[in-house]
Structure 1
Amino acid sequence: MYLQLTGTHVRLLGSMHLFPATSRRTPPWVAEAYDWADALIFESDPATIVPLLRASAPPRAAQLQPLMSADAWTQLHTLWPADGALAPLDDLRPWAALIAAPTLLQQVVEGVEPRMLRSAIAQAKPYRYLETAAEVAAALESIPLDALAAALTMLMADRDEPQRTLELMHAGWLAGDLQAVQRIAAESPFFDLPGIRQAILNVRNRAWAARLESLLDPAERTLVVVGALHLCGPGNLMECLARPVESV
Structure 2
Amino acid sequence: MYFQLTGTHIRLLGSMHLFPATSRRTPPWIAEAYDWADALVFESDPATILPYLKAVAQPGAALLRPLMRDDAWTQLQALWPVDGPLAPLEALRPWAALVVAPTLLQQVVEGVEPRMLRSANAQAKPYRYLETAQDVAEALESIPLEALAAALDLLMADRGEPQRTLERMHAAWLDGDLQALQRIAVESPAFNLPGIRRAILDLRNRVWAERVGEWSDASERTLVVVGALHLCGPGNLLDCLGRPVTAVF
Do they fold alike, i.e. is TM over 0.5?
A: yes
User: Does structure 1 conserve the Cα–Cα contact (< 8 Å) formed by 2:4 and 2:12?
Assistant: yes
TM-score w.r.t. structure 1 length? 0.98
Distance in 2, Cα, partners of 1:139 & 1:152: 19
Aligned to 2:231: 231
Distance in 2, Cα, partners of 1:216 & 1:152: 40
Query: Which one-letter code corresponds to 1:47 in the other structure?
Result: A
Aligned to 1:9: 9
SS in 1 for 2:22: coil
Unmatched tracts of structure 1, length 5 or more: none
Query: Which one-letter code corresponds to 2:14 in the other structure?
Result: G
Distance in 1, Cα, partners of 2:241 & 2:45: 22
Aligned to 1:132: 132
- How much does 1:102 deviate? 0.2
Aligned to 1:57: 57
Aligned to 1:173: 173
- How much does 1:95 deviate? 0.3
Aligned to 2:146: 146
Instruction: Report the aligned-residue RMSD.
Output: 0.8
SS in 2 for 1:81: coil
Aligned to 2:66: 66
TM-score w.r.t. structure 2 length? 0.98
User: Does structure 2 conserve the Cα–Cα contact (< 8 Å) formed by 1:76 and 1:156?
Assistant: yes
TM-superposition CA deviations, 1:151-183 (whole Å, max 9, x none): 000000000000000000000000000000111
- Describe the shift of the 1:124–1:238 C-alpha distance in structure 2 as closer, same or farther (beyond 3 A): same
Aligned to 2:33: 33
1:105 pairs with 2:105: yes
Written as runs of structure 1 = structure 2, the 5 A alignment for 1:237-248 is 237-248=237-248
Unmatched tracts of structure 2, length 5 or more: none
TM-superposition CA deviations, 1:188-233 (whole Å, max 9, x none): 2341101000000000000101111224552111000000000000
Aligned to 1:195: 195
Identity of aligned residues (%): 78
Distance in 1, Cα, partners of 2:22 & 2:52: 31
Distance in 2, Cα, partners of 1:232 & 1:212: 17
Aligned to 1:211: 211
Aligned to 1:44: 44
Distance in 2, Cα, partners of 1:109 & 1:217: 37
User: Does structure 2 conserve the Cα–Cα contact (< 8 Å) formed by 1:190 and 1:197?
Assistant: no
Worse-superposed segment, 56-65 or 223-232: 56-65
SS in 1 for 2:203: helix
Structure 1 outlier segments of 4+, above 2 Å = 213-218
SS in 2 for 1:100: helix
- How much does 1:6 deviate? 1.0
Distance in 1, Cα, partners of 2:11 & 2:214: 16
Query: Which one-letter code corresponds to 1:34 in the other structure?
Result: Y
Distance in 2, Cα, partners of 1:236 & 1:59: 33
SS in 2 for 1:225: strand
